[in-house]
Structure formats: structure tokens, C-alpha cells
Amino acid sequence: MKKAFSMLMLCSLLLITTVGTVMAGNPAYSIIEYWTLVAPTFDGVWTSPDEWTDGQHVQMSDDAMFTYTADIMLTDSFGSLFLIEFFSDTTGNPDDYWQICLDPSNGGGSAPQSGYGRIDIIGHTDIVCYEGDGTGWSEIPVEADIEWANSISDSPLNSTPHWILELQFIKTGGAIQLAEPPNGLRIAAYDASTDTLVAWPPDSDVNNPDTWGMIPTYSMEQYQRA
């Protein structure tokens, strides 16, 4: 019953999205926001084979992918949930990083604006948060609601043990948020041992939101995997 009520809340929230909103970012790279059906455990591994099967599996390159869904959290807030897998990265290095860039207003621009957020996880151990300041990024305290874990493990997507990140945060509150679509989004990961950067969109720039991808809309329908 709580899940059904939560879905009605989400539907009401997302219907506020203004029709005809100007789309920033790179329209060639867009995903749909789907509702989480199987709540994942944030432990850096696929705890069950049906985790992360309820959203699009988006290729960042031949070596990496990510998935994004939205869900109700234990606090009755809406959450943004991410899975990133880097199939060819099988070693730990202090210069490795995961990176998620967020444009909750889908405002775009040639530099990160106020309210835009960025999460970096460095060396698989340290998390750093940033907010746009109109010309670049300014470091801010780490948001307390961010839950994450990463590990080297196999997965249903690749049988060779590789780095996997699971991460979530409150969708509609705090300095790091995604709000309701339309949004701008960039995902990246770096393997220092091979000097390999993978990103979505592939040619996007962390400092230029106009090059990021988009979440133009949402769906309350169950995601149908091909």
C-alpha cells in the first residue's frame, strides 16, 4: 500500500513539469527516468540477479555502462539511484575516480551554474561533492544522504570481476539533487592504470553542461528490457 501511495506521490510531483520546457544539453544522448521496482542493496555488488533490471542499461563505451532509476526512500523522500560498471577496470589506483554531474534545472550553459551538483569518488575510498558557481566548481560538504559502495566483483552483465559502483541520494533536496525531469546528466569513470576515461555522453566535458546528456521525461510504466 505504501508503495502504491508513493507512486501516486511521484506521479503528482512529476506532473508539475512544465510542458514545453527548453531542453539544454546534448539531445542526441537522452534517457527516460523509470521507477525502481527492486530496491537494490548499496554494497557495490549485485546482491540479487533482479537488481538494476528496472532501468535502461546505457553504454558509456564498450567497457562501461550505467543505470539510473528513481525510488521512494525509507525517509519517504524520493531517491536517485545509480549503478555504474567499468568492465575493463580490474585494479585499484588512488587516481581512479567515479563522477556524476547533475543539472537539476536542465538549464545547460557553458559552465556549471548555481544549483548544479557533482559527486566524485576518488581512489574508490573518498567522496567529494561540488556545486556550480557560474564559472566552475566549488567544493562543498559531502551531503549526508549520499549512500554508496564500490567493489571489484562479477555481475550479470560481465563475468570478469571489475569495478562496480552503487550510489543513491535524495532526489529533491539538498545541494546535490536531481529534481523532477527534465534534467541534465553526465556520468564518467577513470581508470588510472590504463589512463582510460569513459563518459556519457562520450565527448562530454565536466565543465560544460551544454555537452551533458539529458533526462527529458519520466515513465510510470515498467521498463521493458529488449
In terms of Cα–Cα distance, which of 47, 48, 101, 137 is closest to 215? 101
pLDDT value of position 23:
60
Is residue 131 within 8 A of residue 104, CB to CB? The reply is: no
The position carrying cell 521507477 is 35
CA of 121: how far to CAs of 33, 108, 146, 193, in Å?
Answer: 23, 23, 11, 16
DSSP classification of residue 130: E
Report the range of poorest mean pLDDT among 4-13, 112-121, 138-147.
4-13
The tens digit of pLDDT for each residue in 176-220 reads 999 999 999 999 999 999 999 999 999 999 999 999 999 999 998
The rounded mean pLDDT for the chain is: 90
pLDDT at residue number 220: 85
What DSSP string describes 24-77? -S-TTSEEEEEE-SSPPP-SSS-SSTTTT-SS--EEEETTEEEEEEEEE-TTS-
Residue 101: enclosing H or E segment and its boundaries? strand 97-103
> In whole angstroms, what is the distance from residue 154 CA to residue 163 CA?
8
Q: What is the pTM for the complete model shown? A: 0.90
Q: 9 pLDDT exceeds 80?
A: no
- Dump pLDDT digits (tens) for 89-142: 999 999 999 999 999 999 999 999 999 999 999 999 999 999 999 999 999 999
